[in-house]
Amino acid sequence: MFGYYYGYGYGSWGLPLMIAILISLYAQIKVSSSFNKYLRVPSRIGLTGREVARMILDRNGLYDVGIELIGGNLTDHYDPRKKVIRLSRNVYNGNSLASVAVAAHEVGHAIQHSEGYFPLIIRNNLAPIASFSARFVWILIFLGFVISPFLLELGILLYLAVVLFQVITLPVEFNASRRALLQLENGIISREEIGGSRKVLQAAALTYVAATLVAVLQLLRLLSISGRRD
């Protein structure tokens, strides 16, 4: 079995990739535990995530951005095509520190969009390409092993789009969190609540860092495999 994995590139990249995957799992646990911890801590202002999002949007002149309820947990996101912030139930209806922080983060993306934040523009343009690539990349890579090296190279090219999307997501997410904290500190949360809000946002950011690390190492492994086959 060891010889099989080594032949497909795991000998060189297996350990770093496994470590990256473990970091990714840790990040998922971290964001879940941090969110659940501060979900039980009411914010002093007493407003729901929806109300805080609306407040920040309005004071930034974003009256045309809507807010909708979405199912699931930690499914919160901003849709730039429809100019809508979608908040999960715990965030939309919750008045906890976690709810307020997550809502403010999504508003941060709306502010980025309104200001033409360049990394966000790049990510939005890459999104459909990365989505398409993610559907077919592993099929092509598998076929590349059994049929033709050309298909492997095509699969790697598609995976490169996925990696680029992950990389450009990092500054977008960190910037949105920075904007969120600035907005929250402006009369929404107290000085004592800043630490908890920052922990929620940092835990979420860690998941993007881990996902990017896994994607980059996977790309390097695939390039190593392609080089050996050549």
Query: In this structure, is residue 75 part of a structural domain?
Result: no
Mean pLDDT over residues 100-124, rounded? 97
pLDDT over threshold 80, residue 57:
yes
| Active-site choice (51, 68, 106, 115) | 106
The label of the residue with tokens 């911890």 reads 37
Cross-strand pairs, 96: 42
Question: Quick check: is 219 in a domain?
Answer: yes
Instruction: Please give the average per-residue pLDDT across 188-193, as a whole number.
Output: 94
What's the mean per-residue pLDDT of the chain? 89
What is the residue-wise DSSP string for 32-70?
HHHHHHHHTSB-TT---HHHHHHHHHHHTT-TT-EEEEE
pLDDT at 1 over 90: no
Predicted pLDDT of residue 220:
86
- Residue 6: its pLDDT value, please? 34
Number of domains observed in the structure of the chain? 1
Who has greater pLDDT, 203 or 59? 59
Is 56 part of any domain? no
Tell me, yes or no, if 193 is annotated catalytic.
Answer: no
Task: Report if residue 187 sits inside a domain.
Answer: yes
Is residue 51 a part of any domain in this protein? no
Which amino acid does the sequence have at 117? Y
Domain limits for position 218: 2-42+96-229
For residue 228, the model assigns a pLDDT of 63
41: burial class by Cβ within 10 Å (0-12, 13-18, 19+)?
middle
Name the most confidently modeled range: 113-122, 199-208, 219-228: 113-122
Residue predicted with more confidence, 112 or 216: 112
Write the CB contacts of 111 (distance below 8 Å, at least 6 apart in sequence): 60, 62, 179
Confidence (pLDDT) at 83? 96
| Domain-embedded: residue 16 | yes
**pLDDT at 3 (0 to 100):** 29
* pLDDT at 192 > cutoff 60: yes
pTM recorded for the entire structure: 0.86
Judge whether 50 lies within some domain: no
**Is residue 221 in some structural domain?**
yes
